[in-house]
Amino acid sequence: GMQGGLDPDAVEGATQTPYNLPDHLVEFVRDEPAAVTTLWWRGVGPTHNVFVVESMIDELAHQAAQDPLAFRKTLAAHQPRALKVLNEVEKQSGWGKSLPPGHGMGVALHYSFQTWAATVLEVAVEADGQIRLIQAHNAVDCGPVVFPDGIVAQIQGGLIFGLTMALYNEITLKNGRVEQTNFHNYRMMRLNEAPDIQVHLVSDPDAEIGGIGEVGTVAAAPVLANALFAATGKRLRRIPFARQMGGGKV
């Protein structure tokens, strides 16, 4: 529901973050056309807000000349479950290893739906701007685990759905009409474009039970933006990304 005219989905994932940030202002600016109704999307508020927060944290790490994963550990030192997923994804992904030219690794941390997740993605950007997704690692703590295979499937599917959005998906309007009509101009990720996705369960059986269906989707855009920055030095602040990298065969 609305609280004093503010839709909580507008700021969820931004007003509360995993980090110790004493000075913290959140403003919500709507820039869709006034006559267009926008509704829920997989991952709801945290999808756009974690993208903003995790991009900002990455920019701060770069400004401070600090490793982005180590920087997050410092800022989230008061959150033991955050440190656990960060440490696990650091170990599993081989964070900090030397990469071929044009490759980069990005990281994103979030707490959404009572679940903690840290994600690392390796990408390669070709000379012509084409983006290749190499491998994703996701460490997840969703409290008690009931069905581990279901958690893995949800994280994998959520990441593929979210990475598809972050690379390609947008709805544009012309003369009051939506321009996209089917999957030839609103494209889905293809099998040969999906990264290898490794999911690592580090759950806390004594915590409250968390959600899982939207956790992977929330991580996708920020981890991709941060990986693209690591690969190219180009900081993308608007979704979708493929066309902006110059390799936008959509």
- What are the strands, taking DSSP E only, across 95-221? 103-112, 115-125, 131-141, 173-174, 177-178, 196-201
Q: What is the pLDDT of residues 85-117, one digit of tens each?
A: 999 999 999 999 999 999 999 999 999 999 999
Q: What is the pLDDT of residues 50-93, one digit of tens each?
A: 999 999 999 999 999 999 999 999 999 999 999 999 999 999 99
Compute the radius of gyration of the chain from its Cα atoms.
18
Q: Measured between alpha carbons, how far is residue 136 from residues 28, 43, 148, 163 in Å? A: 30, 19, 18, 11
Instruction: Answer whether 101's CB lies under 8 Å from 95's CB.
Output: no
Tell whether the model's pLDDT for residue 1 goes beyond 90.
Answer: no
Instruction: Answer whether 29's CB lies under 8 Å from 6's CB.
Output: no
pLDDT at 31: 80
Domain 8-245: which CATH number of 3.30.365.10, 3.50.50.60, 2.40.40.20, 3.90.1150.10: 3.30.365.10
Alpha-carbon span 168 to 46, nearest angstrom: 19
Going from N- to C-terminal start, the domains of the chain cover 8-245
Instruction: Answer whether 213's CB lies under 8 Å from 43's CB.
Output: no
Amino acid type, 116? W
